[in-house]
């Protein structure tokens, strides 16, 4: 009866609009989430959650996941880990999750944002959400130092935190401070010219540039230790779109965005554009922890060349820091 009385105050067009709005919202939520997935839950309802988006580059998994496990053990806070597999065959990853005692989430659709939405929803107690891709090499104490950077970031700027990212070598923003920190920026300019930021620039497209940067990035632990020492507690603000292969954000940000957008026609990079746009539009800082070094194993056109470099120098990617 109350609803009928309320509707009397609306015109026919108003009622049609309200109905269509409600139907659209139900449709939108159905796209953002799905109940069609396989989930093996090994979580412990922890406040910290790591999402690993994986499934297509199995030649990196042993090194990448072993480094994640080491960092999980180094973290002074409890951390749940969930490997998210959108679309690909997850058989091997399921076995690796059992070995490492991590949760495993598999969806049929090749939609990275959908997999992450489901994982975050399933881990309802997680407040701090770390996310990495399967081609990210972590340095030691990654989780500890990223959390510290997030909490101290507002001291470096008057911007509230949107998300925090580490210093990434093959990255439009990170390449310049990385090369300057290790004293190789002038050598880069001499060989390739100015390191210009842009989606259509060599840092994203050139196999030669990607491989050269990786040549400066190994032995990985030695380079990471050098950067941690030279850039101790250094934080900067990225003024443009950032590649989100490795980031830390809070659940509130994901909720306030209305979860990650799921597009039926576009899967790759849609959540990256969304989170960066949201931060820019809402004046939230994209902070870079410049003392936390990680390696990115290349953008799409660089994949083959960097994979070969990885295979040729695999010993230099293995953890060499003493316990």
Q: Are the C-beta atoms of residues 78 and 44 closer than 8 Å to each other?
A: yes
Mean residue pLDDT of the chain comes to 89
Q: Distance between CA 290 and CA 112 in Å, rounded?
A: 27
Q: Pick from 301, 315, 268: which is nearest to 55 by CA?
A: 268
Sequence-ordered strand ranges (E) for the chain: 37-40, 48-53, 79-86, 103-107, 128-133, 136-138, 160-168, 235-237, 246-250, 284-296
Q: Pick from 74, 201, 48, 27: which is nearest to 131 by CA?
A: 48
Q: 50: domain range? A: 37-316
In a domain, 102, yes or no: yes
Q: What percent of the chain has pLDDT over 70?
A: 86
In a domain, 276, yes or no: yes
In a domain, 197, yes or no: yes
pLDDT at 154: 86
In a domain, 157, yes or no: yes
In a domain, 30, yes or no: no
Does the pLDDT at position 202 exceed 50? yes
Residue 287 β-bridge partners = 164, 237
Query: Model confidence over 242-275: pLDDT tens digits?
Result: 999 999 999 999 999 999 998 765 556 789 999 9
What region does 148 belong to: left with phi over 0, alpha with psi -120 to 50, or beta?
Answer: alpha
21, burial (CB in 10 Å: exposed 0-12, middle 13-18, buried 19+): exposed
In a domain, 13, yes or no: no
Counting the structural domains of the chain, the total is: 1
What is the DSSP annotation of 144-155? HHHHHHHHHGGG
CATH number of the CATH domain containing 153? 3.90.550.10
Here the tokens at position 205 are: 């497209």
In a domain, 91, yes or no: yes
Q: Distance between CA 12 and CA 5 in Å, rounded?
A: 14
pLDDT at 36: 83
Q: pTM score, two decimals?
A: 0.88
242, burial (CB in 10 Å: exposed 0-12, middle 13-18, buried 19+): buried
Q: What is the band of 14 on the pLDDT scale with cuts at 50, 70, 90?
A: low
Q: Are the C-beta atoms of residues 72 and 79 closer than 8 Å to each other?
A: yes
In a domain, 14, yes or no: no
Phi, then psi, of 287 in degrees rounded to 5: -95, 140
Query: Model confidence over 103-156: pLDDT tens digits?
Result: 999 999 888 999 999 999 999 999 999 999 999 999 999 999 999 999 999 888
Q: What is the band of 198 on the pLDDT scale with cuts at 50, 70, 90?
A: confident
Query: Model confidence over 154-189: pLDDT tens digits?
Result: 888 889 999 999 999 999 999 999 999 999 999 999
Does the pLDDT at position 322 exceed 80? no
Query: Model confidence over 272-314: pLDDT tens digits?
Result: 999 999 999 999 999 999 999 999 999 989 999 999 999 999 9
């Amino acid at each position: 009866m109350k609803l009928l009385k309320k509707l009397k105050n609306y015109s026919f067009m108003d009622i049609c609009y309200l109905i269509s709005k409600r139907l659209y919202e139900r449709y939108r939520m159905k796209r953002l989430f799905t109940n069609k997935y396989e989930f093996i839950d090994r979580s412990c309802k922890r406040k910290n959650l790591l999402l690993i988006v994986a499934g297509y580059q199995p030649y990196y998994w042993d090194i990448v996941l072993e480094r994640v496990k080491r960092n999980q053990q180094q973290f002074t806070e409890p951390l749940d880990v969930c490997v998210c597999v959108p679309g690909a065959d997850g058989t091997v990853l399921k076995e690796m999750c059992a070995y490492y005692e991590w949760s495993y989430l598999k969806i049929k659709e090749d939609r990275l944002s959908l997999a992450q939405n489901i994982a975050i929803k399933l881990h309802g107690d997680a407040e701090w959400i770390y996310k990495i891709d399967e081609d990210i090499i972590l340095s030691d104490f990654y989780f500890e130092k990223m959390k510290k950077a997030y909490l101290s970031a507002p001291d470096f700027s008057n911007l509230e935190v949107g998300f925090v990212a580490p210093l990434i070598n093959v990255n439009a923003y990170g390449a310049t401070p990385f090369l300057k920190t290790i004293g190789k920026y002038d050598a880069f300019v001499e060989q390739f010219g100015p390191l210009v930021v842009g989606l259509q620039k060599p840092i994203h497209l050139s196999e030669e540039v990607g491989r050269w940067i990786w040549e400066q990035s190994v032995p990985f632990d030695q380079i990471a230790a050098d950067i941690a020492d030279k850039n101790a507690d250094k934080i900067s603000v990225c003024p443009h779109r950032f590649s989100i292969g490795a980031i830390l954000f809070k659940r509130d940000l994901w909720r306030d965005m209305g979860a990650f957008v799921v597009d039926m026609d576009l899967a790759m990079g849609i959540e990256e554009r969304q989170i960066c746009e949201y931060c820019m539009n809402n004046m939230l800082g994209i902070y870079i922890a410049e003392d936390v070094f990680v390696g990115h194993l290349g953008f799409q056109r660089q994949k083959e060349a960097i994979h070969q470099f990885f295979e040729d120098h695999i010993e230099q990617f293995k953890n060499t820091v003493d316990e």
